[in-house]
Every structure is written in structure tokens, then in C-alpha cells.
Amino acid sequence: MTTRCRNLARVSMIAALVAMPLTLGACGQTGKIRLNPAPKVASLSKSRSEANNNWHYMSNTNFRAMREDTARFLLIDRPSRLVYTTTPY
């Protein structure tokens, strides 16, 4: 082997040894990216605050509808029609 080839082999070995810790150091950060690749997005098109707003609006609407259905089932959604006098309903 010539001197030039030995020097090239040494330089490439040193470069590989220097580059190895740098590339392995980046592997510690990939766990955070894999767990949550898009931290500001809750779904494909909505942020977390938009998803929370939709969930609270949906639960509020469903609760009000359930109360209305319960009142209709228990027959307390309108006055009784058992009296002869008219009521202003």
C-alpha cells in the first residue's frame, strides 16, 4: 500500500469515527417524534382546541336533547288536558 492510500484510509476511518456519535446522538430524539409526530394537531384536520370545542358542543347538545326526550317520556313537556277550562299554552 502506498503512503497516499494509507493516509486516505486513516482520514476516512477518523471521519467515520467522528460521524458515528453524531448520527447516534440524533437517534435519541426520534422517540419524541415517533410518539407525537404532529403535536399541535389532534386529528387530520383539527387542532386540539377545535376538537375540544366540538366535543363540548356535541356533549352539550346531546345532554339538552336527552333532557327534552326525558321530559317528553315523563309527559311533563306540556300542561295536562284533563281540565275543561282552557289554559294559555
Domain definitions of the chain by residue range: 1-30, 42-77
For residue 87, what pLDDT is reported?
Answer: 64
- Closest alpha carbon to 78 in 67, 89, 69: 89
pLDDT tens, 31-89?
565 676 677 777 777 888 888 999 999 999 999 999 999 999 998 888 777 777 776 66
For 36-70, b where at least 16 C-beta lie within 10 A, e where not — what string? eeeeeebeeeeeeeeeeeeeeeeeeeeeeeeeeee
**Number of neighbours of residue 5 by Cβ within 10 angstroms:** 9
Confidence class of residue 26 from pLDDT cuts 50, 70 and 90? low
- Closest alpha carbon to 1 in 32, 9, 19: 9
CA 4 from centroid of its chain's CA atoms: 57
Of 6-10, 12-16, 27-31, the least confident = 27-31
**pLDDT, average across residues 15-22:** 71
